[in-house]
Amino acid sequence: MSHDHDHDHHHHHHPDPHDPAVRVEAIESLLVEAGLVDSARVDALIEKYEHDLGPLNGAQVVAKAWTDREYRTRLLADGTAAIAELGFGGAQGERMVVVENTDQVHNLVVCTLCSCYPWPVLGLPPSWYKSPEYRARAVREPNVVLSEFGTELDDHVEVRVWDSSAEVRYLVLPQQPPGTEDLNETDLVDLVSRDSMIGVRLAGAL
């Protein structure tokens, strides 16, 4: 382009054809015309992922594992099947591996290639999870990353970093916070944050 951009008017009257808002409208219209996409179904899927799926599902998995020893055993043996018991699964969450935090081991999940993430249990990924900084540093200096999230571990705790991929999605089973043994499963759900299931924070931590 040889002429100067006029920022006040450019977008109001003639948006750039490379503007992603224009591009996405264009591709959707082509797919709708070809009978391959139903816009109402697109609406429904956005709604589903924005409102129906979320960390609440993962939190229910964790709370059940805290209160039901047999479920915990099944969850660690076959995450996919145990999560499906609660009705969660589907696209992008088919193969789930659950890794357990203990007094000796703390687990941290990253996707170094892009942003593979267990959507059916954790919803859509937070923006920092997709950042190049997190993707690189979670592997290179996990303890520094953890401390930046306010997570300080004892020196003897081994940090294991799990690299999610298109094939395997990891979910961290955080440790149950001390002093919460008397809470029921429903109350325990509220202690399980998304971040604790990625492994950047502890359960019960803000």
Partner 1 sequence: MTHSAKTHRPLPAEGAAAPPRINGELVFDAPWQSRAFGVAAALAESGLISWADFQAALISQVGEADTSSADTGSPDGYWTCWLEALGSVTASAGVVADQDWAERSAVFANRPAGHDHSH
Nearest to 71 by CA among 151, 188, 196, 205: 188
Compute how many residues bind partner 1; rule: CB under 8 A. 69
Contact status, residue 176 vs residue 148, Cβ threshold 8 Å: no
| Residue 5 within binding range of partner 1, rule CB under 8 A | no
Using rule CB under 8 A, residue 25 touches partner 1:
yes
Q: Of 29, 39, 114, 147, which residue is the catalytic one?
A: 114
Distance CA 122, CA 112 (A): 18
Do residues 170 and 99 touch, judged by C-beta distance below 8 A?
A: yes
CB 92 within 8 A of CB 119: yes
Catalytic residue among 2, 29, 39, 116: 116
Binding of partner 1 by 175 (CB under 8 A): no
Whether 111 sits among the annotated catalytic residues: the reply is yes
115 catalytic per annotation: yes
The single residue among 65, 194, 200, 202 that binds partner 1, judged by CB under 8 A, is: 194
* Catalytic residue check, 127: no
Q: Which amino acid is at 162?
A: W
Q: Which residue has the tokens 């499906």?
A: 84
The continuous run of DSSP H or E covering 95 comes out as none
CB of 121 to partner 1, least distance (A): 12
| 148 DSSP β-pair partners | none
Closest C-alpha to 106, from 151, 46, 48: 151
Per-position x/- string for 29-58, each x denoting binding to partner 1 as judged by CB under 8 A, each - no binding: xxx--x-xxx--xxx-xx--xxxxxxxx--
Largest interatomic CA distance in the chain: 70
Measure Cα distances from 171 to 17, 41, 119, 128 in Å.
Answer: 40, 29, 10, 17
| Site residues (CB under 8 A) for partner 1, limited to 60-99 | 91-92
Binding residue for partner 1, selected from 132, 140, 154, 156, defined by CB under 8 A: 132
Site stretch for partner 1 (CB under 8 A), options 78-86, 95-103, 152-160, 178-186: 178-186
DSSP structural state of residue 114? S
Out of 111, 164, 193, 196, which one is annotated catalytic? 111
Nearer to partner 1, 22 or 105 (CB): 22
Binding site for partner 1 (CB under 8 A): 12-31, 34, 36-38, 41-43, 45-46, 49-56, 59, 91-92, 113-116, 123-128, 130-134, 166, 177-180, 183, 187, 190-191, 193-194, 204-206
Catalytic residues: 111, 114-116
